[in-house]
Structure 1
């Protein structure tokens, strides 16, 4: 297949980028020679003496490089001030600037991390060093949702790509640590914040941002408080398609428009006390939430149920095509309340730290969906379509005319008929997952001399106790309004919600659709539900069937010991971590006489040896080698002892309590060259062998297991999670960043930051295939060109990742794929004085279209676009 112009241009950009990096590297070698000559006239240089200018990017990155240079393991770090130089709203977007870090987006907004191309469950998360387990809608993933944590409350972001024994073993590819601000970070009284306002290009919705942080400290006591708010109102263009699994011909065109208001708030309080020299106590409380209010307008042209006509791959003509409309004003909520009490103490022989953490997370969905159907072929439209562009078919509408010979196509129409459906029903969709977690953590370090060597011994123990109450997303109740409303003396008139405002869309379609007022409809739906509830015909508490609910209790106890010492030119950190997990799972399964409680439990003890070796070849040249083991445990809803049934969507989603955790062993190697201008050039490689690979499986129900009286569910999609066989994942990462301080005059303000990751891997599926890992892009690239001088800071940033498998499919004509995409962002800052600066951010300048497809690009399943966004504002610091 011929590549699109955007991909061709990308190849050219990457090719040119490689050549440019080669030239830059050659220039850097010459510059390093000159710098070394200068250094011989001064004291010996260490990493702390990296040349620094007053520029925000370079100045803030210096501390991050020092931390990375001195770390015992392979780690990448972003300082908070560096984050401020990117147009990134949440921590996931900021972390995506690091080597081999990609993000998963939802309607264009960054949500989950994928490090080194692996699935998000292979990356664990901690806040201030304390393990945090995330939940998403329905609890199907343990992945932490980064869209609930704004970047403005963080002091640094760390990605540990190799593990030391003090880090939890539940990290196959990386462990991300989000460090929040401490009152002792700056002495005295300080205030900083920002205000910003902008626009979403698609739909013209507003974008706003505000943050404020204040702190005060002296030598003994400190206090800080912070708050942030971000909100944007966007339109999302969306097209989805389904196909006949045998012929591959289209069965339905799903046309959607979303009006989404997304907001995130965070508030933090921190207290710190130094009662005596060498002793520090602190308490931090962080609350963050993410709110998603979604209005959906959706129309599905049911090609497979047309009265007559022909369906082709590139074009078709059909008579009497049923239409299904769906409308909702849904509410998605995610919150995290993280509280940590801790202390760090220096005793005569030991340095001791302790932490007690309580974390509460909640994820809820409330989606009262109104579904309307035009099923009478005499009122349904006739259509013809042109799929020259499979992603965006052009559809022509016609009237349907009844004659003596049957139904025929009538005159062309320029708009979809949106009033007087034949059937109206309401489907309340709901789910809720809540977790309560306590973490107790104690670490100690002692330095002593043994055998002529200085040895640093570290020991520690931790206990995590989690309780999860959850309900998978399910549509277990359908309210047939025509039969119910007369019983409460109410009516529902679909046509009154249709406005005279056409959809604001950038996708070609072929006919006009007017926006349906979901807000007004939701108000009437609430009144209907209240009336039905009062009459005993509806109960929100009864919406979730017992077989959708689950309860899980986990206890994870860990202990470790490690030693750090020098052996010749190398520094070694080697040790062992032991973890024991006890898990109890409770749920219900439907039966002929009601629901039956089903419980499962499992206990697992795992050993995680690791070794990290660091060679200081020169003051500015470091070689690292590492070997480790790790684990990824299945998520909560994935191991539930039940199955949910969606008769509307014809889908059965089942848990699998017998899943084995994924286990891995592997190694890392990296070479890091620290350059003038707070620069770094590095190359690293990794290999992971993974057993019991988890993957989502989609097949069809073939027996009568899920049938109900009068309801045959044969042919429903059956979705569950399975263990595959052994797999491997490996790759190489190149990174380079530097401000060109060796250039003359104004040119020394230019700099470059970029990285390129080449990844590969596969595993054995139960049907004997060797398939790629879901979620793995074989190429991830980031490149930023920046200029900083005389108060001006400007950065143009480019990101690209290649296609990847989303879900493996064992029938039909191919796996569910996500196509590659690119993003181009611009950020400009200007410092008016030492305290005040103004900024302008422009995101998604390429106006990217995100595409999913089945098997090949001739069968797109989802096409989505969110448009560009712009934000301008002011930052202040006193």
Structure 2
């Protein structure tokens, strides 16, 4: 009975399929079996998914957490990034209509794989996980440690996204999903549809399998933001109440983003077994994303001067309320980016069980990706005479203009025009071959694996030159009210922060009239690329690994483990341009930087089966994380507008960056007291060398000071913490109460890096993170209520260098709480319906300048109600 249950669980997880076994290489999946006594419960959707995920974790050599589909294409979230927000030690942000910015154990140094293969977006190292709809997924594995056979990269961890294959099914299978979403702040109703069809059959030529899936998602969204500029001590200069210790913002503002995203995805797979021990396969995946949005800024300068009146937040020297009639300026700015991106990956491969003890495999993969963006920014000036503001109202800024109509086009004049565009692309080819020899379970060394991988990757990037076109009086620009169709009311603020709407230049007008607008500002057509932005990177890697699986008895305790090493040689060829001044003129001088590094990455795992239900683990290894391709760019980008502190903005790359190396150790104790019941704890410690941060420093070009943002290596860093996970279905409860279950996890993290001899916090790392998911499944009904919490974290380290007494500031984000819920009803064996609500409690995102009495902004996002109908055969 135990073995039958185990096989059912593994089949549901998809890890008994030959292709998946191959993808996991030396992992002893075939040995996996549930050891707890089964109870008399029908193992269906929610339970089966939980049981499968638990089995994967239990039988893995590495420290891993998985989320498995309840059935083909059925996950509780819409994309991979949202799914990962439920995983122990993983944190995400949600903005722009969906989850994004995935980090593992507080760090961004992760690698994304698709079916065990390296995959990425354009010039980035990783795939944008929001680009993968859950409709095509079988499961998602999050590795906190790495085996020697895995593609190198990921000092924080590895996310392996696995899609379904035809041999995962017994025969013909098909599914179709339709979904309608309502978003409250965007006031939209959007469709989503996906489908999958798979079949496997036999004839005289062997066994065949074919699968094809498609997905379409459309989503509008609205993000509301109100903000304060950084505190500055100059706000009291020249006022009737001078006080050098008082600080306050120079500007208050709103920044609302409306957007619409369309995502088209497809995946396909073919498998062929001419004989029992040989399999040939080909599979691929494609996605296209069209993303149009408008970020409608309003910047209200407080016009500090002799007539300005202000009060302080009680008990502080921070400005609270402001009334100013000293000619306060106001700016309306509409950023209207339109993004277009595509990514394609195809793979062909074969595996051969040469004998009962020897299996070999090989695979060739090609990936291409491109991205482009056109982002005109058109601005208008307003000319109010009085402004009233309050810097801290419900976490944000409130301001208004008494007696001035911000919806009247006659109250505006044309402002600056920023003509932005950028484009990037990349492609790669990689080939690998692996062999595994089974030496017998009675020997100390039970299995040997070796493999080789060769990969070639190239990337390119460029953006516009001379993007800033100022509102020069010599241009004799027309009146705003004279241009038909020019202006639109901004999206209204959903909450009360004073001025609720203002005029912006319509986003559609910007794109439809872009060439005419350029001519209006004295430019003919689109500008050529900025030579300092141009770069091409070519990276060649060659990797060789060896690994053995061993086992022995320590007294009465069976112990098994793996020992492996991966040796990787990386050749990098970076080409760009550097800014050099010759005879008082700036000249773009070509730069070529070639480097070659060899990294040796050992890995050790130990797993002790202390009892039938209790497992102890120890994992240790070395990992690397290569910098993003864009970080190597030797060029610079200099801003044309000056900041409130009299310094221009700029950014650049660093061709001398070194890869981050991590030395990681994990120790775990795992108690599996039921097929869907476990309590686990993992203690981890990571040490880093050459950790990469972005920081600002003042540099001088053409006699002007620029705050240049560049990546650089710091000497060392470390991270330590503990993860605790719990899962159980309460089948022992009587009647309908036996349908309840719970998944909960908690992560504590503590870490820092050393910068210039001082400890500094990791960006994005919350010390505490909690997930609690209440589950229910009985008969035709199932449901979940999911709560997610993360404590405060540093968004940007030392992001502004301000005058005394303020000094350097970190941008800190308040704790974030999210609640989602869903309920499903299975109409019959082939059809079901789900109602879900995302952002049930109308969460808010709030950050502040160093201390809580200096808020930067507060952000609110859509509440999403979705109705999904699923059909399967």
The answer to whether the superposition gives a TM-score over 0.5 is: yes
Cα distance in 2 for partners of 1:561, 1:239 equals 55
- Paired with 1:538 and 1:305, the residues of 2 have a C-alpha distance of 39
Residues 387-425 of structure 1: per-residue CA shift (max 9 Å, x gap): 342732322313xxxxxxxxxxxxx44656554534433
Task: Look up the match of 1:318.
Answer: 324
Structure 2 distance, partners of 1:503, 1:530, is 26
Bigger Cα displacement from structure 2, 239-248 vs 812-821: 239-248
Paired with 1:843 and 1:729, the residues of 2 have a C-alpha distance of 32
Q: Which residue in the other structure is 1:675 paired with?
A: 673
| 2:7 match | none
Alignment of 1:401-800 (within 5 A): 412-413=403-404, 415=406, 418-448=409-439, 452-471=443-462, 476-478=467-469, 493=481, 496-497=484-485, 503-514=491-502, 516=504, 518-526=506-514, 528=516, 537-540=523-526, 542=528, 544-568=529-553, 569-591=558-580, 592-648=585-641, 650-676=648-674, 678-701=676-699, 703=700, 706-707=701-702, 712-714=703-705, 716-766=706-756, 768-800=757-789
Among residues 355, 358, 364, which one is paired with 1:350 in the alignment? 358
Q: Distance in 2 between matches of 1:775 and 1:510?
A: 31
> 1:830 and 1:778, CA in 2 relative to 1: closer, same or farther beyond 3 A?
same
Report the alpha carbon displacement of residue 626 of structure 1 after superposing the two structures with TM.
0.5
Count the aligned residue pairs.
797
Change (3 A) 1:651 1:308: farther
Q: CA RMSD in A?
A: 2.6
Which position in structure 1 is the counterpart of 2:222?
Answer: 235
Cα offsets for 1:603-637 (capped at 9, x unmatched): 11111011011112223222111010111111111
The aligned counterpart of 1:252 is 251
Deviation for aligned residue 1:123: 1.0
Q: Distance in 2 between matches of 1:640 and 1:344?
A: 40
Give the deviation of 1:527 after TM superposition. Answer: 5.0
Structure 1 counterpart of 2:152, from 169, 179, 204 = 169
- CA separation in 2, counterparts of 1:722 and 1:689? 18
Offset at 1:744? 1.3
Pairs within 5 Å for 1:10-89: 46-47=34-35, 50-51=38-39, 53-81=42-70, 87-89=76-78
- After TM superposition, the structure 1 stretch with the greater mean CA deviation from structure 2, 141-150 or 746-755, is 141-150
Structure number with higher helix proportion: 1
> CA offsets per residue over residues 525-572 of structure 1, 9 Å max, x none?
235158689xx9334251x31101111110111100010010212101
Going from structure 1 to structure 2, the CA distance change for 1:567 and 1:472 (only over 3 Å counts) comes to: farther
- The separation in 2 between residues aligned to 1:753 and 1:474, in whole angstroms, is 52
Q: Which runs of 5+ in 1 are unaligned?
A: 1-43, 399-411
1:289 is aligned to 288
Mapped partners of 1:608, 1:224: distance in 2: 37
CA distance in 2 between counterparts of 1:749 and 1:426 reads 60
Deviates more, 1:519-528 or 1:100-109: 519-528
Equivalent pair of 2:761/2:797 in contact (CA under 8 Å): no
Match of 1:206 in 2: 189
Partner of 1:181: 164
Whole-Å separation in 2 of the counterparts to 1:462 and 1:311: 66
1:382 aligns with 2:369: no
User: Relative to structure 2, which stretch is displaced further, 681-690 or 142-151?
Assistant: 142-151
SS at match of 2:715: coil
Task: Report SS of the residue matched to 1:726.
Answer: strand
Q: CA 1:450–1:505 in structure 2 vs 1: closer, same or farther (change >3 Å)?
A: closer
- In the alignment, the residues of structure 2 paired with residue 792 and residue 166 of structure 1 have an alpha-carbon distance, to the nearest angstrom, of 42
Matched residue, 1:105: 94
- Where 1:147 maps in the other structure, the secondary structure is helix
SS across alignment from 1:871: strand
Residue in 1 aligned with 2:6? none
- SS of corresponding position for 1:117: coil
When residues 485 and 286 of structure 1 are mapped into structure 2, their CA distance, relative to the original with a 3 A threshold, is farther
Residue 492 of structure 1 and its aligned partner are, at CA, apart by 6.7
**Unpaired segments of 5 or more residues in structure 2?**
1-31, 235-246, 312-318, 643-647, 802-806
Deviation at 1:462, TM superposition (A): 0.5
Question: 1:760-798: per-residue Cα shift (whole Å, max 9, x none)?
Answer: 1112112x2212211211011100111111110110000
Q: Are the equivalent residues in 2 in contact too, given 1:503–1:515 (CA < 8 A)?
A: no
Deviation (angstroms), 1:748: 0.5
| 1:876 is the counterpart of 2:858 | no
1:303 maps to: 302
Checking the alignment, whether the CA contact within 8 Å between 1:385 and 1:396 is kept in structure 2 is: yes
Aligned residue for 1:94, secondary structure, equals: helix
Q: 1:724 to 1:82 in 2, by over 3 A?
A: farther
Look up the match of 1:402. Answer: none
- State the distance in 1 between where 2:538 and 2:115 align: 24
Within 1, Cα distance between the matches of 2:324 and 2:96? 32
Is 2:341 the partner of 1:334? yes
Tell me how far apart the structure 1 counterparts of residues 256 and 118 of structure 2 sit (CA, whole Å): 38
Match of 1:90 in 2: 79
CA contact (8 A) 1:293 1:331 kept: yes
Which residues in structure 2 correspond to 1:110-189 (within 5 Å)?
110-118=99-107, 120=108, 122-135=109-122, 139=123, 142-189=125-172
- Using the alignment, how far apart are the partners of 1:50 and 1:485 within structure 2? 82
Cα distance per residue 1:127-185 (max 9 Å; x no partner): 111112345xxx5x534311111111111110111111101331212111111110111
Structure 2 residue aligned with 1:368: 376
User: SS state of the match for residue 58, structure 1?
Assistant: helix
The answer to whether the 8 Å contact 1:199/1:207 transfers is: yes
CA distance in 2, matches of 1:418, 1:597: 48
TM-aligned CA distance change 1:495 to 1:541, over 3 Å: closer
Inter-partner Cα distance in structure 1 for 2:511 and 2:464: 23
> How far off is 1:82 after superposition?
7.0
TM-score relative to the length of structure 1: 0.86
